[in-house]
Amino acid sequence: MIDWLISGLVLIKTFSLWAIGLYYIPAVLCLVGYGFLLKKKYTEAVRAREKDQYFTSPTIGNVLGWILLSLVPVVNIFALIFDIELFNVPLVKSKDS
Distance CA 6, CA 88 (A): 45
CA distance 84 to 30: 7
> Helices 60-71 and 25-50 meet at what angle, rounded to 10?
170
CA-nearest of 36, 37, 42 to 55 is 42
Region label for 41, one of left (φ > 0), alpha (ψ between -120 and 50) or beta (otherwise) = alpha
Residue 88: the pLDDT is: 65
Which residues of the chain fall short of a pLDDT of 50? none
Model confidence, pTM: 0.66
Mind listing the pLDDT tens digit for each residue in 11-28? Answer: 677 777 777 777 888 888
